[in-house]
């Protein structure tokens, strides 16, 4: 199965890199979708962790087959690059998705505050998310290195490297924060449909909401199974084994979400893919420009972005 994870994570990384290329090589996109860019970096970290896990465990299994003996390891031995990268991604990705939800919620519910404060400081929240994920990873790693637990499972997962209580807390954090992000995005989407919004605003809200739904299904639910598996009773392998592949699918699906729901993104991708030969529909462009210019989003007299 780890061989499959290697290939799936590699393919998924291609889509994440395509996403980043489209978003970052256009100045307007880079400014408008900086939180989405941050999410893609967090996804790339997750994919690197899954790839390194597959590579390392494949080597471990080869060693066991050759020697006929399982490795005897402590928790400090399991603090490897891939376990640290995976845990960092476990914290970074949900925090960025929460930032996305808070940003859209503030833009629609509190437009004056958003324009005066949040819009200018959103990059600060992104940086704080990555810093917080780093702190949440470094502290337990240091504890495991200084006070190692002997004779842990030789495959060296999160629970073996950092301890079962931390592993459960990791999964619980993931489930809780992604659920909060989903709640904020759904509430924002429902509210936005009752007031007049610009095309760009609604496009971003719908895109963020779908991303939150997909992450809930593909990340939060498998992590909920992991919590049950670690605390209450053993879950079937059929529910536990596909978790890394589902995480890879979650990362790669963002490209398809953007492509299908964002006309500007789609035009940008097709233009890059055809080396500038693709020309977007003039009718769609005129309509989009006209709608944005003649129907700006207002709430209590404040234009939304």
pLDDT on residue 63: 74
For residue 9, the Cα-to-chain-centroid distance in whole angstroms is 14
The per-residue pLDDT for 97 is: 96
Concatenate the DSSP letters of all residues of the chain into one string.
-HHHHHHHHHHHHHHHHHHHHHHHSSHHHHHHTHHHHHHHHHHHHHHHHHHHHHHHHHHHHHHHHHHS-PPPB-TTTT--HHHHHHHHHHHHHHHHHHHHHHHHHHHHH-HHHIIIIIHHHHHHHHHHHHHHHHHHHHHHHHHHHHSPPSSB-TT--HHHHH-HHHHHHHHHHHHHHHHHHHHHHHHHHHHHTTS---HHHHHHHHHHHHHHHHHIIIIIHHHHHHHHHHHT-PPPHHHHTTHHHHHHHHHHHHHHHHHHH-HHHHHHHHHHHTTT-----HHHHHHHHHHHHHS--EETTEE--
Q: What pLDDT, on a 0 to 100 scale, did the predictor assign at position 155?
A: 77
Nearest-angstrom CA–CA distance, 298 and 106: 14
With cut-offs at 50, 70 and 90, classify the pLDDT of residue 284. Answer: very low
Model-level pTM greater than 0.85? yes
Q: For the residues 121-147, what does the mean pLDDT come to?
A: 94
More confident residue, 284 or 86: 86
Domain that holds residue 141: 2-303
Report the distance separating Cα 9 and Cα 7, nearest Å.
6
According to the model, what pLDDT value does residue 11 have? 96
For residues 242-249, average pLDDT: 93
Highest mean pLDDT among 26-30, 32-36, 72-76, 93-97: 93-97
Most confident of 5-19, 55-69, 108-122, 196-210: 5-19
Residue 60: how many CA atoms within 13 Å on its side-chain side?
A: 17
| Rg value, the chain, Cα | 21
Contacts 24+ apart (CB under 8 A), 190-193: 191/108, 191/109, 192/108
Q: How confident is the model at residue 50 (pLDDT cuts 50, 70, 90)?
A: very high
pLDDT at 59: 81
Structure confidence at residue 200 as a pLDDT band (50, 70, 90): confident
* Share above pLDDT 70 across residues of the chain, in percent, rounded to a whole number: 91
Cβ count near 115 (within 10 Å): 16
**Mean per-residue pLDDT of the chain:** 86
Task: Write out pLDDT tens, residues 75-133.
Answer: 998 999 999 999 999 999 999 999 999 999 998 998 888 888 777 778 899 999 999 99
**Alpha carbons 225 and 2: distance in angstroms, whole number:** 20
Which residue shows structure tokens 């398809």?
A: 256
Q: Which residue did the predictor score with more confidence, 222 or 60?
A: 222
Number of domains in the chain: 1
User: CB–CB of 81/26 below 8 Å?
Assistant: no
CATH number at residue 30: 1.20.1070.10
Q: What is the pLDDT of residue 235?
A: 82
User: Are 75 and 163 spatial neighbours (Cβ–Cβ below 8 Å)?
Assistant: yes
Longest CA–CA span in the chain (Å) reads: 73
Residue with the larger pLDDT of the pair 297 and 87: 87
Measured distance CA(304)–CA(196) in Å, rounded:
10
């Amino acid at each position: 199965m780890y061989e499959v994870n290697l290939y799936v994570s590699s393919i998924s990384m291609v889509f994440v890199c395509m996403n980043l290329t489209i978003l970052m090589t256009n100045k307007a996109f880079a400014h408008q979708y900086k939180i989405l860019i941050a999410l893609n970096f967090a996804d790339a970290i997750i994919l690197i962790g899954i790839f390194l896990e597959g590579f390392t465990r494949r080597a471990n299994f080869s060693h066991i087959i050759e020697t006929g003996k399982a490795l005897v390891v402590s928790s400090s031995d399991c603090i490897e690059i891939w376990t640290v990268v995976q845990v960092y991604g476990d914290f970074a990705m949900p925090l960025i998705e929460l930032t996305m939800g808070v940003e859209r919620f503030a833009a629609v519910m509190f437009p004056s505050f958003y324009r005066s404060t949040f819009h200018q400081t959103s990059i600060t929240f992104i940086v704080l998310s990555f810093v917080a994920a780093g702190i949440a990873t470094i502290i337990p790693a240091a504890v495991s290195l200084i006070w190692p637990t002997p004779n842990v499972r030789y495959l060296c997962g999160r629970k073996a490297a950092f301890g079962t209580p931390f592993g459960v807390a990791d999964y619980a954090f993931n489930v809780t924060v992604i659920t909060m992000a989903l709640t904020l995005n759904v509430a924002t989407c429902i509210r936005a449909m009752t007031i007049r919004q610009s095309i760009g605003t609604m496009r971003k809200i719908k895109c963020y909401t779908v991303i939150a739904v997909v992450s809930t299904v593909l990340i939060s639910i498998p992590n909920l199974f992991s919590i049950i598996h670690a605390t209450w009773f053993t879950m079937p392998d059929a529910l536990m084994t596909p978790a890394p592949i589902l995480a890879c699918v979650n990362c790669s699906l963002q490209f398809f979400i953007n492509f299908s729901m964002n006309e500007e993104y789609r035009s940008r991708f097709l233009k890059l893919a055809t080396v500038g030969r693709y020309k977007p529909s003039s009718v769609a462009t005129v309509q989009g420009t006209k709608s944005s210019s003649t129907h700006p989003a207002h709430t209590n007299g404040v234009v939304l972005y």
